[in-house]
Amino acid sequence: MSCETDTIETVRNSDQRMTPQRLLVLSAIRHSGEHININQIHAQVKKAYPIINISTIYRNVAVLKELRLISETYKTDGETLYEWIGDHTHMHMMCRDCNDMIEIDDKYLDSFKKDIRDDFGFNIDIDHLAISGLCKPCKQLEQVGYDN
Amino acid sequence: MSCETDTIETVRNSDQRMTPQRLLVLSAIRHSGEHININQIHAQVKKAYPIINISTIYRNVAVLKELRLISETYKTDGETLYEWIGDHTHMHMMCRDCNDMIEIDDKYLDSFKKDIRDDFGFNIDIDHLAISGLCKPCKQLEQVGYDN
DNA sequence: TTTGCACCTGCATTTTTTTGCAATAAGCAT
DNA sequence: ATGCTTATTGCAAAAAAATGCAGGTGCAAA
Ligand SMILES: [Mn+2]
Ligand SMILES: [Mn+2]
Ligand SMILES: [Zn+2]
Ligand SMILES: [Zn+2]
């Protein structure tokens, strides 16, 4: 795993240790398509290390989240997803009706982010932003009165 | 509970029923200060109806959330909070270090919301918006290098 | 009022997530 | 290399959340 060198440093520089288990969890998330849940991480890690316990997955995900190497997203349908935070910074819009998630460039947040920082001193984490609402098709269905 | 008449109508108009248990859950959330968790709701409802089961709380909270009468917020420290959605629409900024939550007027979101609707047709739910980041004091501590 | 049906509840159980603990091992300093 | 300190792991057990089911009940239509 040569592409993880700087990540390994990040972990080590924070009084945490880089174990084989932790590296496998980290790689599973990093090299998954994009979003991955706990069971998928567990299944993936098991391929290389079958004895690993699910609690180790939970605990490592918590550590990586704390270090802001990964993000945690609660989907509108209840599923919790993890994602690698690299240089591809973006946010998500999640539809509360069809549960679809679309990816949105974080440039859309620039002005809002600035206002909040200027007026409150609060610094928004764009990497951890998932916003719920109604997507275009679902909104149209609602207006036709097709649903409620 | 005379102040719940329109709420009762909302529930009844959606092919769901208004049971005493549901009304108690609803009132507990509505009349709590602002944010309340599952156990607090359970404790509150028990005062009037001691036999109620915790699973009834979980199920009713899910229904009220689906009807958009209440919002569900995952705090940065893991706690899940519920809140009545009335006319006092607002959003929250949650600090990932000190877990403090500040309330912010939704006017700050107007421009962002419009951009997203114009460009993607996606309609953001302001009532369900809680954004994580670093609050002012925590940001200052970080810059001094006091923490990491 | 009475009836009927779909929704709800309580309870038991299952599933998911968290936690305590003793053994192990990472990483720093000899 | 070797030894120390302390984070981390696997396992078991606890706690939290979700679910199946049989009986109960809201409520709309007679
Ligand atoms: Mn993403
Ligand atoms: Mn609030
Ligand atoms: Zn949708
Ligand atoms: Zn803070």
- Region A119-147: what's the mean pLDDT? 88
CA distance B65 to B59: 10
Minimum-distance nucleotide, CA of B12 to C1': D27
Chosen domain end from A40, A55, A86 = A86
Tell me the pLDDT tens digit for each residue of B25-57: 999 999 998 899 999 999 999 999 999 999 999
Q: Round and report the angstrom distance from CA (B41) to C1' (D24).
A: 24
pLDDT value at residue A122:
98
pLDDT > 70? residue B22: yes
* Same domain, yes or no: B96 and B147: yes
Chosen domain end from A86, A105, A124 = A86
Which residue on chain A is closest to B117 by alpha carbon? A136
Substitution target from A105, A118, A131, A134 for chain B, most B beta carbons within 10 A? A131
pLDDT > 80? residue A145: no
pLDDT value at residue B145:
58
* Same domain, yes or no: B71 and B96: no
Of B130, B28, B19, nearest in space to B69 by CA: B28
Question: Per-residue confidence at B148, pLDDT binned at 50, 70, 90?
Answer: very low
Here the CATH number for the domain that contains residue B26 is 1.10.10.10
From the list A116, A131, A136, which residue is nearest B93 (CB)? A116
Interface of A with B (CB under 8 A): 14, 74, 93, 95-96, 102, 104, 108-109, 111-112, 115-116, 119-125, 128-129, 131-136, 139, 148
Which of chain C's bases lie under 7 Å from a protein CB? 6-12, 17-20, 25-28
* Same domain, yes or no: A79 and A116: no
**Any idea which of A55-59, B7-11, B119-123 has the lowest mean pLDDT?**
B7-11
* Same domain, yes or no: B82 and B92: no
- Region B20-29: what's the mean pLDDT? 98
* Same domain, yes or no: B49 and B97: no
Distance A15 CA to ligand 4 centre (A): 22
% of chain A exceeding 90 in pLDDT: 80
pLDDT > 80? residue A4: yes
pLDDT value at residue B2:
60
The full 3-state SS of chain B, as one line of letters, equals CHHHHHHHHHHHCCCCCCCHHHHHHHHHHHHCCCEECHHHHHHHHHHHCCCCCHHHHHHHHHHHHHCCCEEEEECCCCCEEEEECCCCCEEEEEECCCCCEEEEEHHHHHHHHHHHHHHHCCEECHHHCEEEEECHHHHHHHHHCCCC
Tell me the pLDDT tens digit for each residue of A64-122: 999 999 999 999 999 999 999 999 999 999 999 999 999 999 999 999 999 999 999 99
pLDDT value at residue A146:
47
pLDDT value at residue A2:
61
Q: Round and report the angstrom distance from CA (B73) to C1' (C11).
A: 29
From the list B96, B116, B133, which residue is nearest A108 (CB)? B116
Domain that holds residue A93: 87-148
pLDDT > 90? residue A148: no
CA distance A84 to B102: 28
* Same domain, yes or no: A11 and A79: yes
pLDDT value at residue A136:
97
* Same domain, yes or no: A81 and A142: no
Mean confidence (pLDDT) of chain B: 93
Q: How many domains does chain A have?
A: 2
* Same domain, yes or no: A25 and A42: yes
Here the CATH number for the domain that contains residue B95 is 3.30.1490.190
Cβ separation of A135 and B116 shorter than 8 Å? no
pLDDT > 70? residue B3: yes
A27 sits within 7 Å of strand D by its CB: no
Chosen domain end from B86, B103, B137 = B86
pLDDT value at residue B25:
98
pLDDT > 60? residue B74: yes
* Same domain, yes or no: A134 and A91: yes
pLDDT value at residue A1:
46
* Same domain, yes or no: B93 and B77: no
* Same domain, yes or no: A80 and A97: no
